[in-house]
Amino acid sequence: MSAGSYRVFAVAAHPDDIEFGMAGTLLLLREAGCELHYMTVANGCCGSNVTDAAETARIRGGEARAAAANLGAVYHAPLVNDLEILYSKALLDRLTAIVREVAPDILLVPSLFDYMEDHTQTARLAVMAAFCRGMPNLSGDPPRPIVENPVRVYHAQPHGHRDAMGQFRTPEFLIGIDSVLQPKTDALACHHSQRAWLDDSQGMDAYLATMHQFCAEMGSLSGGCFAHAEGWSRHNHLGFCDAAFDPLAQTLNALTCPVA
């Protein structure tokens, strides 16, 4: 398979999570000719101190659709409310059906060591949905035919690059995103409703600047190769692909470097 024909599926917990930690890589993959898919498992309904849950979900859904369009990605609707991303067979069945529908070659998921449960449970569910993609005895919800193409799973950095205990998590490798920092910023800016919420709830004053700081911190690990970067770590290949299958490195070789 040529690099430009890879199908990429970014799965995160909430609207704006993809833009914070994955969007630069997605934009570079789009430039390389890959097909992009975008999904948040939760609908963002708790992300406001002003509007009720239903209205917040409606607003954030519109923002997520706009961001996906900005990235050039196919949008997939969320499955549950915020704080309902619980590891269960029912939710695994639903996510497995979507993974089979998309049949990605590259699966981008959150860190297994993030600061909140919605993020870590999304990582676990997305990984397991990919693992189950070829199991005929798991039908999915709704039932979907199995897929057997190899898929490589990559974990993004935890939000702010710190785990639940506040410890810095070093990625396996970096992708330089200097050339796409502005469109990544534009995609995050689609989430207008989150500016006040993030400032009030998590102290992220000027959330666009916060994202730039996160990317600059990753860039500082590149040994001078990049000013801004996104960090990634490969999931164990067993059950997913051959050990040598590394489509991110194949596609974005010139912009990929190990951590200095």
Percentage of residues of the chain with pLDDT beyond 70: 95
3-state secondary structure of 248: helix
Identify whether the C-beta of residue 29 lies closer than 8 Å to the C-beta of residue 108: no
What six digits make up the tokens of 207?
């959330």
Q: Where are the beta strands (DSSP E) in the chain?
A: 7-12, 35-40, 73-76, 106-109, 152-156, 173-176, 229-234, 256-258
Identify whether the C-beta of residue 28 lies closer than 8 Å to the C-beta of residue 174: no
Q: How far apart are CA 36 and CA 30, in angstroms?
A: 7
What six digits make up the tokens of 137?
């005895």
User: What confidence tier does 203 reach under pLDDT thresholds 50, 70, 90?
Assistant: low
User: What confidence tier does 3 reach under pLDDT thresholds 50, 70, 90?
Assistant: low
Domain layout of the chain by residue ranges = 3-258
Average pLDDT, the chain: 94
Residues 108-151 have pLDDT tens digits of 999 999 999 999 999 999 999 999 999 999 999 999 999 999 99
Percentage of residues of the chain with pLDDT beyond 90: 89
User: What confidence tier does 192 reach under pLDDT thresholds 50, 70, 90?
Assistant: confident
Rounded to a whole number of angstroms, the CA Rg of the chain reads 17
Exposure string of 79-95, with b = 16+ CB inside 10 Å and e = fewer, is bbebebbeeeeebbbbb
What six digits make up the tokens of 181?
């920092």
Q: Where are the beta strands (DSSP E) in 21-178?
A: 35-40, 73-76, 106-109, 152-156, 173-176
243, 214, 112, 194 alpha-carbon torsion, rounded to 10°? -130
pTM exceeds 0.85: yes
Peptide bond into 142 cis (omega under 30): yes
Architecture of domain 3-258: 3-Layer(aba) Sandwich (3.40)
Overall average pLDDT of the 139-168 stretch: 97
